[in-house]
A and B are shown apart, each in its own frame.
Chain A
Amino acid sequence: MKYSYKILSVILIFYTLVWGLLNPVPRLDILNETIRNVYYHVPIWFAMLFMMTVSLIQSIRALTNTDLTNDSKAYNAALVGFFFSLPGLATGSIWAKFTWGTWWTFQDPKLNGVAISILIYLAYFILRFSIDDELKRARISAVYNVFAFVMMNVFIMILPRLTDSLHPGNGGNPAFAKYDLDSNMRMVFYPAVIGWIFFSYWLFEIKNRISFIKNKIDD
């Protein structure tokens, strides 16, 4: 039971790596074969969003009690989420170069939103390191983390939908509704999302255990 989600995550990701390259995809101009990036680029971001949600929940729990493990878990989740955002950015940038024609465009609110969100979470890490008192750190960073989560959602989920965006599903562009028509792609995309979310949770769990050991040694 303890390992089942880890095994499932490896099976699902492995399946998407193999079948994601083999299965038939819609034949579209400009995108061509790069449409397969949907299986790899998008689930990474979903995993990041999932980890930030875990971080939010842990921060809220940290505010309701004085147990420092919640604070530690909130930090670990945000850290894992942060490390998922970096390949998310890099893969998006590569994909953009060959479809939109540029590594980075300031025309797209989603790109700018993501950049701001990453800075917001970097500020969260810096804030944590700047407070020595453990209880104080737990409280202040938990409050900040709730704001960070809300701001991230405003910047990457709400604003890009209100203005023009190159991303599907934003600024009136079709998103999954279009891909949904293709059941072949859905058969890889959804397992990939689940697989990467479980994988991120696996990393989160290991990080938590290391934090636990560290605390135990420090005491």
Chain B
Amino acid sequence: MSSEPQMADAFREDGKIYVVITVIGLIFLALVFFLIYIERKVKKIEDKVNGL
């Protein structure tokens, strides 16, 4: 007799999975925005250095 492998079905049905996805997504986007911020800073310094 084989039993069905256990999956997080209830978690999905509750809709709580969207909470997790939102958190992960926000963290990722925050990191991306920080990276863009750093890149803009680098660009500014680049312009400064090239102007020397």
- A interface residues with partner B (beta carbon < 8 Å): 10, 13-14, 17-18, 21-22, 27-29, 31-33, 202-203, 206, 209-210, 212-213, 216-217
Do A210 and B42 touch across chains, with their CB atoms under 8 A apart? yes
The 5 closest A-B pairs by CB, nearest first: A29-B5, A27-B5, A216-B49, A209-B42, A33-B8
**CB <8 Å contact, A14 and B8:** no
Give the interface of B toward A (CB within 8 A): 4-8, 17, 20-21, 24-25, 28-29, 32, 35, 38-39, 42-43, 45-46, 49-50, 52
With both chains docked as a complex, state the minimum distance between the C-beta of B29 and any C-beta of chain A, in angstroms.
7
Of A21, A209, A210, which contacts B21 at CB under 8 A? Answer: A21
Majority-rule SS of B interface residues: helix
Shortest Cβ distance from residue A166 to the other chain B in the assembled complex, whole angstroms = 19
Kindly provide the distance from the CB of A216 to the nearest chain B CB, expressed in whole angstroms.
5
Bound-state CA distance A10–B8 (Å) is: 27
Contact A17 B21 (CB under 8 A): yes
- Which residues of B sit under 8 angstroms from A17, Cβ to Cβ? 21, 24-25, 28
B17 to A206, Cβ gap below 8 A? no
- Whether the Cβ atoms of A10 and B32 lie closer than 8 Å is yes
Residues in A with CB closer than 8 Å to B25 are 14, 17-18
Bound Cα distance from A212 to B38, whole angstroms: 15
Whether A28 contacts B5 in the complex (CB less than 8 A), given A17-B28, A206-B39, comes out as yes
Is the Cβ of A206 less than 8 Å from the Cβ of B38?
Answer: yes
Which B residues touch A212, using CB under 8 A? 46
Contacting pair B29 A14 (CB below 8 A): yes
From the candidates B20, B32, B35, B43, name the one contacting A21 in the complex (CB within 8 A).
B20
Closest residue of chain B to A217 (Cβ to Cβ) is B49
CB distance from A1 to the nearest CB of B (A): 16
Alpha-carbon distance between A217 and B32 when the two chains are bound, in angstroms: 28
How far, in angstroms, from A209 to B4 measured CA to CA in the complex?
Answer: 53
The contact of B6 among A14, A32, A213, A217, by CB within 8 Å, is A32
Nearest chain-B residue to A28 (Cβ)?
B5
Q: Given known contacts A32-B5, A213-B42, is B32 in contact with A18 (CB within 8 Å)?
A: no
Q: Are B42 and A206 in contact (CB under 8 A)?
A: yes
Q: Are A18 and B21 in contact (CB under 8 A)?
A: yes
List 8 contacting pairs A-B, 8 Å CB cutoff, sorted by A.
A14-B29, A18-B21, A22-B17, A27-B4, A28-B5, A213-B46, A216-B49, A216-B52
